Amino acid sequence: MKRIVVAGGGIAGTIVANRLVRNLSEEVNKGEVEIVVLNKANEHIYQPGQALLPFGVTETDELIKKEREVLDPRVKLLHDQKGDITKFDPANHEIRTADGLSHRYDYLIIATGSHLHWEDIPGYKDAVYSPWDMESAQKLREALDQFSGGTVVINVSRLPHKCPVAPMEVTLMLDDYLKRRGLREKTEIVYTYPVPGIFGIKTTNDVMIKIFQDRGIKVISPFTVTKIDPKERIMESQEGEKVKFDLAIGVPVHYGAKVLADSGLPIEGRNWVKTDKMTLRMEGHSDVYVIGDTTNLPISKAGSTADFESYVITGNIAGEIRGNKGRKFYDGSVFCYIATGLDSGTYIRFNYNYPPVPPPPSYVHWWGKLMYNKLYWTVTAKAIV
């Protein structure tokens, strides 16, 4: 029997496990293939919804489900201690978990995601609300409810981070939210970004920065935050800027899972696994694939990226198990809706070769974004398309 182990049961791990079981249905039903997901958590959080939560567009209970409910019943799930990976041992094709057990695999897919290190910037945790964290997104909603005007700073601490377009979305939804509450005239919105501009891809940056200018949003970049004084509410940058604020919303520093580095896997930067950009295999190991935020690929850390990647990994593993010739390659595809307010949106669709140019904002794309979120549990996560 062939054993495929998926390390991590977030967006990427769940989609790829469900796609594998659909693709290898016959083999799984005959007991020739087993698919196992190891996940530290028991719950599955749909993180894209965290950007909408502070503005009352969605509710917490729409964003969390038990991982078991999201996985096909034929996929085996080990969670909490039984699924908490403490060591990767690719030389012996094994993974160890916190309950002391070892799990053999024929194929491994690493999907342990990206993690927030608030403590990297002194004062960040005490001063900043972040939709990148569920609890903090909930608190931001309360803080916005109490807000009566002043300066709001949106900060991106370091690149890369989950969903590169989301800081722009949060800023533009905030602009709309403040207008609706009659507070926009009393509020200055300041966007601070660690590289020049407001977004890393020039074609998109050029379109989005114009929208920011038209909406009277001040941009300070490059702005590499080094520390925050939570009492005085001052954010300082490596470039020598100091910004005083009444409310700060930010993106903490992101890392790949620590266990990847501790296990001696090939990593670069902040624990991102070295991944072949075409095959999605981990450097030096033909039986190990990497998916989602965990990779070091030069593309967006996004759920849609994981979805596109899941076709390639599934196709290659299923092909190998069945002895088929031919390979699938990842072309760097990403699709992201971009909210440009609370009733308008645009999108970007791109790959390694074609940079994205967002079309003019419209209600249709806002609606598309909301529909995409609603269909996550029943369509995307289940790998139905």
Binding flag, residue 296, ligand FAD (CB under 6 A): no
Could you tell me if 144 and 41 are in contact, meaning their C-beta atoms sit under 8 angstroms apart? no
Give least dist CB 371 to ligand FAD, A: 12
Distance between CA atoms of residues 376 and 231, nearest Å: 40
Does the protein bind ligand FAD through residue 40 (CB under 6 A)?
yes
What is the DSSP pairing of strand 114-117 with strand 253-256? antiparallel
Q: How far is the CB of 77 from ligand FAD (least distance, A)?
A: 11
381 touches ligand FAD (CB under 6 A): no
CB of 206 to ligand FAD, least distance (A): 21
**Binding-site residue total for ligand FAD (CB under 6 A)?**
37
Residue 44: CB atoms within 10 Å: 23
Does 257 bind ligand FAD (CB under 6 A)? Our answer is: yes
Site for ligand FAD in 179-238 (CB under 6 A): none
Does the footprint of ligand FAD cover residue 51 (CB under 6 A)? yes
Q: Are 321 and 35 within 8 A, CB to CB? A: no
Binding ligand FAD (rule: CB under 6 A), the pick from 259, 282, 317, 348 is 259
Instruction: Indicate which single residue of 77, 156, 282, 302 sits in contact with ligand FAD (rule: CB under 6 A).
Output: 302
| Binds ligand FAD by CB under 6 A, chosen from 19, 33, 36, 47 | 47
Q: Pattern of binders to ligand FAD over 60-99, x per CB under 6 A?
A: -----------------------xxx--------------
The tokens of 28 are what? 């799984």
The closest alpha carbon to 51, from 303, 222, 350, 235, belongs to 303
163 forms part of the interface with ligand FAD (CB under 6 A)? yes
Residues with Cβ within 8 Å of 15's Cβ and at least 6 positions away in sequence, in order, are 306, 307, 310, 380, 381, 383
φ and ψ at 7, to 5 degrees? -95, 100
Give the DSSP H or E segment for 371.
Answer: helix 363-374
Strand order in the sheet with 187-192: 128-129, 247-251, 150-156, 187-192, 218-220
Q: Quick check: 293 binds ligand FAD (CB under 6 A)?
A: yes
8 is an interface residue for ligand FAD by CB under 6 A: yes
- Nearest in space to 190 (alpha carbons), one of 237, 129, 123, 247: 247
Q: Which residue number is nearest to ligand FAD in terms of Cβ? A: 10
In the bound complex, what is the minimum distance in angstroms from residue 31's beta carbon to ligand FAD? 26
Q: Is 6 a residue that touches ligand FAD (CB under 6 A)?
A: no
Dihedral in degrees, nearest 10, Cα atoms 121, 126, 130, 135? 130
- Which tokens belong to 350? 């791109």
Q: How far apart are CA 70 and CA 310, in angstroms?
A: 16
CB of 282 to ligand FAD, least distance (A): 14
Contact 38, 5 (CB under 8 A): yes
**Which H or E element spans position 135?**
helix 134-146
Per-residue DSSP letter, 181: T
* Closer of 123 and 303 to ligand FAD (Cβ): 303
- Compare residues 157 and 321 and give the one whose CB is closer to ligand FAD: 157
Q: How far is the CB of 17 from ligand FAD (least distance, A)?
A: 11
Q: Which of 4, 10, 250, 341 binds ligand FAD (CB under 6 A)?
A: 10
Q: From the CB of 264, what's the least distance to ligand FAD, in Å?
A: 15
Spatial CA neighbour of 208 closest among 332, 304, 334, 346:
346
Our finding on whether 144 is near ligand FAD (CB under 6 A) is no
CB of 257 to ligand FAD, least distance (A): 4
Q: Give the one residue of 5, 9, 243, 253 binding ligand FAD; rule: CB under 6 A.
A: 9
Q: Check binding of 50 to ligand FAD (CB under 6 A).
A: yes
DSSP state for residue 359 in the 8-state scheme:
P
Q: Which residues contribute to the site for ligand FAD (CB under 6 A)?
A: 8-13, 38-41, 47-48, 50-51, 83-85, 111-113, 131-132, 162-163, 166, 257, 259, 292-294, 301-304, 306, 336-337
